[in-house]
């Protein structure tokens, strides 16, 4: 079995709440980690009317707005899959990179499987928080983005816009990965 080369893709989402299949994924932002100007962004129509007020406050979005301005989840996931296919050569493997990857990946995985019957990222994701712990020996508490910022000095900041956050996460990943290589 030959080992495929990897293309790291930073992915961030905003949701209407924490429960996959009950709360809607509202936006997806993604970029190539080592070429962040190659980007993807989409707003999705809701899959339910359930929401958590705190989640909506964080995003600044409403279900009414996403219902009006978003596209169907099936079309959104098809577009995301096509973007991945266009930007990842056939002999390479896309690797999902996230900041608290378990949360974002779980929604993306659910939507890909529900609407396309496949997830181009497969069954796993690489978590920036865990990578930071391994590279620095920090505690889990110190993997908050604000703590990472004090250690890494990124030029970008997160703002709960999925595309902006994907680019910010890509920068954090590059900084942490470089740090781990220099140990």
Other beta carbons within 10 Å of 14 = 25
- Please tell me the predicted confidence (pLDDT) of residue 182: 78
- Percent of the chain at pLDDT above 90? 94
pLDDT above 90: residue 2 = no
How far apart (Å, rounded) are the C-alpha atoms in residues 90 and 87? 9
Domain, as residue range, for 173: 5-181
Tokens in use for 20? 């996959």
* pLDDT tens, residue by residue, 17-59: 999 999 999 999 999 999 999 999 999 999 999 999 999 999 9
Tens digits of residue pLDDT in 74-100: 999 999 999 999 999 989 999 999 999
Report the Cα 25 to chain-centroid distance in Å. Answer: 11
Instruction: Give the CATH number, domain containing residue 115.
Output: 3.30.420.10
Look over the chain and give the mean of its residue pLDDT values, rounded to a whole number.
96
DSSP E strand boundaries for the chain: 5-15, 25-32, 35-43, 92-98, 126-127
Mean pLDDT value of segment 135-154: 95
**160 catalytically annotated:** yes
> Is the per-residue pLDDT at 1 higher than 60?
no
Domain count across the chain: 1
Given the residues 160, 164, 174, 179, the one annotated as active site: 160
Q: How many C-beta atoms lie closer than 10 Å to residue 67's C-beta?
A: 14
């Amino acid at each position: 079995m030959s080992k495929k080369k990897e293309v790291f893709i930073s992915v961030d989402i905003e949701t209407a709440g924490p429960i996959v299949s009950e709360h809607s994924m509202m936006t997806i932002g993604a970029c190539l980690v080592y070429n962040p100007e190659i980007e993807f962004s989409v707003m999705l129509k809701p899959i339910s009317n359930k929401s958590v007020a705190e989640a909506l406050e964080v995003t600044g979005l409403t279900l009414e707005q996403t219902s009006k301005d978003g596209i169907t989840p099936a079309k959104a996931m098809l577009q995301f899959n096509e973007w991945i296919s266009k930007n990842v050569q056939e002999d390479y493997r896309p690797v999902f990179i996230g900041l608290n990857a378990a949360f974002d990946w779980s929604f993306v995985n659910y939507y890909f499987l529900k609407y396309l019957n496949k997830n181009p990222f497969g069954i796993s994701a690489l978590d920036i928080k865990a990578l930071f712990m391994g590279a620095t020996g920090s505690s889990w508490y110190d993997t908050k983005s604000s703590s990472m910022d004090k250690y890494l000095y990124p030029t970008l900041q997160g703002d709960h816009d999925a595309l902006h956050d994907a680019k910010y996460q890509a920068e954090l990943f590059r900084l942490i990965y470089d740090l781990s290589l220099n140990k």
